[in-house]
Structure 1
Amino acid sequence: MVNAVRRTLKLSGLHLEHRGQFSVLWLVGVLTYGGFGLIYPQFSILITGRGFSLQEFGVIQGIATFLSITSLVYIGKLSDRLNKRKAILAGALLLGIPIAVLFPHASTLSMFVALLAFYLLSASLFNATAANWVSRFGTPTGMGRLHGSYRISYSVGWVLATGFMGKALDAWGVDATFYLGAALFAAALLLTVFLTRDTASEPVPLASESLGDVSYFPWPPQLKALLVALGIFTLAQTMGQNLSYIFLREEMQATNQQFGLLSSVQSWPEVPLMLALGILSDRVSNTALVAGGMLLAGLRWILMAVVRGITPLYFVQPLHAIAMTVTEVVIIAVISREVPSRFLGSVMGWRVTITSGAQLVAPLLAGAVGEEFGIRVVFLSAALISVAAGLLIVYFTASAKKPHKIYDYC
């Protein structure tokens, strides 16, 4: 039995001495995304239900995103100086509690902007800090498997919570469902405070660390193309996702039970995908995985634009898992594994900047297009933009004379 556990941990890319801390953070991930799953799908419904148009909803999202990005810059610099992950993670969870309690009672534009900004800040801090922390537990060749194994905790929490959300709404109503989300954040906070400890070690050394001393990072074309494509892809996914819950409720007239199940089923394939793509990203062409994932994710928005009944959506929604896996496992694993650690902070910073810029523009664009032409046109736009991102990756891969590791350019 012990040997089987050891083999499983080895396959996950995890150092054995960190298995206890990894397990705690994994459970924290389940609880946190359980909280997110109970409250996030209802945000857009509550805002438009208060009388705000799609365009006004886009403006609210855009302003909130801008405020959260601005805050993240300063908090990120502070966390680098302090080198403390536990405090930042606990702070992100603590911030989520009042958001969940207050959101169902909000009614004004300024209050929605403030609550959404704090929510985005809380979620971004949690994701970035958890990824940074978990990276310190892994082996040099297992970053894809490690991040895939950890990201499964998010999928489990989201699937269980959203699957239960419909029953909770029918039984207890909106307010109590949000309070339950706050309770899950509180439970995750307690685990973080009492059962985790900061890992002092730096991320594991990579193959690229054996190279000579270089004071700057000469960006290779493949990495530039990857980040540009990621920005384009993030724009597409954010545009579609921002209005998808409104679409389910208002246009498709989904009941509470259907709404909860459709929010849940979109993440069902994430667990096997996280494992499969996490392992594949350590062994095969990452550009093929990223490009293929982006092209397939665009298929979801095409189908969402033409679907006419609730039943087909149960087969369309799971395509969402492809987009999540590509952006949250494969790309992070590529950067973590192949960029020298002395440049990793800079490259990750550019990644956050690019995706944040896309997330800032997306709600404004989606709101304007949705108000003028309808939500289905937004989905078609998201599909075309996703395909463009995938084709950009294909183009740069095909135009390269030979495949290069990123560190060949360092």
Structure 2
Amino acid sequence: MAAAPRARSPFLGLLPLPERTAIARALRTETVGGLVLLGAAVVALVWANTPWADTYERIRDFHFGIPALGLDLSIEHWTADGLLTLFFLVAGIELKRELVVGELRTPATAALPVIAALAGMIVPAASYAITASAGGGSLDGWAVPMATDIAFALAVLAVLSTHLPAALRAFLLTLAVVDDLGAILIIALFFTSDLNYWALAGAVAGLVVFYVLQRRRVRGWWWYVPLGVVIWTLLYNGGIHATVAGVAMGLILRTVHDQDEKASPAERTGHLLHPLSAGLCVPLFALFAAGVSVSGDALGKVFTTPEPLGVILGLVAGKILGIFAGTYLAARFTRARLNPDLAWADVLALATLAGIGFTVALLIGELAFPGTAVGEHVKAAVLIASLIAALLAAVLLRRRNAVYRRLYEEENLDEDADGIPDVYQRTGSSGT
């Protein structure tokens, strides 16, 4: 009897379900998502500085779309305007969750990270403006150093956080969410082209329909995906950066689930889209946004040209000064109080970490200096500043982690001396 033919796995096809599930689960973690993003940025930098740089530029500048709908964009713009919409949709869902059931739901708990985030946007912008003005540069890039990259910052924290208090991550997440909201508002208000009010009215009407469908508990992706594409197209043609569509829909999605639901629409959507955003959308944006020349001449201009120098000072020094000073002044002169699990040294490390301004900072840099040499220098400045901030934060966080690990070990020794069973040793947990 002839043996049954062995099933062949399709070349470059879908992975089996267990592997797809494992990859999606990994991409939902900040560490893996941040590493994928970092890998894409490294590939872009290497590719753009090799003999194959012309190939990189041809691919990046290749146009396609639907001209009749005003959608004839380069691959670089498709990733910035299109794929990043999913990233901002996930960010909008996270912001909605924080506003409804998270740290931002009550003024008392939200005050400190919100004030810290606002100060962490104002001071970097002012640092850029002062530096650019003193050097006779353009003020168009004032918003570039205002944004913190959630994925990178949380990835660095996740890699180093074995004994750091959970309150540190909650503070950073809340700060980054408010920071993202500020960046989104800046993009919508200050980086718009000529407005098409008819298209904008159509987009608003689409969002109203989206809201009504949510409130009437209408389910099914076939309602929301086409509607989302229409809203995105109308916003793009309306002159407002199309990623705002993602934030708006994320804020509209219901966050609290009904009794007959295991999860709310926001939870289900975020759970489904987070791996796609972290594993495809943001890395592809980084691949076509981070490809800048790092020759000696270009690096020299980063530190001698006022615009990129202002970005570096804003992201590194401005973020540290703004977030730390804002947090201290709020705790000193208002009723807001620092979480008792945190020390001021933790806030300093967190303020340094917030200087990682990769994704949104690159996006704003492209909008502020489209297709110019200054824009390329600003991109390089964002990369350099983010690297400096990550390295400084890693040093500070490792020191704080060592302090908390020592305290943890001393507490365990005290418990053993008192004859109290050590639950961590008994269960094999690391105490995280």
TM-score between both structures, scaled by the size of structure 1: 0.30
* Structure number with higher helix proportion: 1
TM-score between both structures, scaled by the size of structure 2: 0.29
